[in-house]
Structure 1
């Protein structure tokens, strides 16, 4: 668990996500949290999404969200890869309901509108919502949505090779470090024998 910004980010339950989302006042920032929850992408890439990465020319949501290579974290070898994530039906509804700022190419523009919002501001929005939700002692950070996404897929029985493809990981060992395994998980696993 994260403590004073050290350690692994906490995995969120569905209830945690709902409590945090309820405390985010702006629709724009709710959508930021929603995209993080339903794609498992790092927040550094989320804040750099352009409208064309999520929407078709006619304003309808794309079938895939496109996280461009230059916005994503590099692999240990320095390579960056574009990641396309299928849009979950709930996320498609949220994207449809959202009305982007028409004068900006960015999905999450800065106050000036000519550049994307900064990661620090996104982090501050999340931390404020976490505090108001009464969850500040859980070790939640922007990376919690990525760990939660990966853990949820694993808990639903999605094999690691598929999760690796979805998340863009190049190393199964690194990927497995994201998956939270509780004592209850190990008991249930043994009970299947």
Structure 2
């Protein structure tokens, strides 16, 4: 099962994220791939089609991740997203584990036999296998994006800033996308004046 009963990707818990990154993803590539989904709130296709230079430069991992407009869902505009320290570590571990990455293929995550880029169906299979081993249900590749955006909202990040990261065209579209978490429910209940 990939989505909740309303047709949206499930929001991950902190425990599920910890399990996936500590026990589920068994190699640096998988941690980097799904780390970008989580820490850049990126769609799986945006991550699969990244170029090596979008994340890693001559001096190592860049300060900003570039998601090019032609790889986005609406092909709207290029987004630059600050690289979170944990994502920097995942990317650096991946870069070190595969030092010839940028020599033969311009993509950050090369496809089968080093040609093209990894297909989103392959990324989905990697996630499904990890979730099966860990007995985690209801997770899809889109869960990472939805989790990141919802957690930003929970933390009080202004919606305009979240919109700049997510690439949603309108605030209304972003608001429909965000989930309601237990933290938000508790905050709403605590504000009731009886």
Range into which the TM-score falls when normalised by the shorter chain? 0.7 to 0.9
Question: Runs (4+) of structure 1 moved beyond 4 Å?
Answer: none
Q: Distance in 2 between matches of 1:96 and 1:183?
A: 34
Answer whether contact 2:49 2:107 (CA < 8 A) is retained: yes
Q: Match of 2:12? A: 12
Instruction: Point out the structure with the larger helix share.
Output: 2
Relative distance call for 1:14 and 1:3 in structure 2 (3 A) is closer
* 1:26-68 deviation digits (Å, cap 9, x = unpaired): 211121011111000000010011110001123x111110011
For structure 2, the residue ranges without an aligned partner over 5 or more in a row are none
Q: Match of 1:38? A: 39
SS of residue matched to 1:158: coil
Relative distance call for 1:184 and 1:86 in structure 2 (3 A) is closer
* 1:72-120 deviation digits (Å, cap 9, x = unpaired): 101xxxx521111110111112222222424322111012212001011
Count, aligned residues: 185
- 1:88 partnered with 2:89: no
TM norm structure 2: 0.87
**Displacement, 1:177?**
1.8
Answer whether contact 2:3 2:10 (CA < 8 A) is retained: yes
SS of residue matched to 2:112: coil
**Displacement, 1:183?**
5.7
| Deviating more after overlay: 176-185 vs 158-167 | 176-185
For structure 1, the residue ranges without an aligned partner over 5 or more in a row are none
Mapping of 1:41-60 within 5 angstroms? 41-58=42-59, 60=60
Q: Distance in 2 between matches of 1:183 and 1:124?
A: 29
Aligned-pair RMSD on alpha carbons? 2.0
Relative distance call for 1:107 and 1:184 in structure 2 (3 A) is closer
TM norm structure 1: 0.88
Q: Distance in 1 between matches of 2:180 and 2:80?
A: 27
Q: Distance in 1 between matches of 2:39 and 2:176?
A: 20
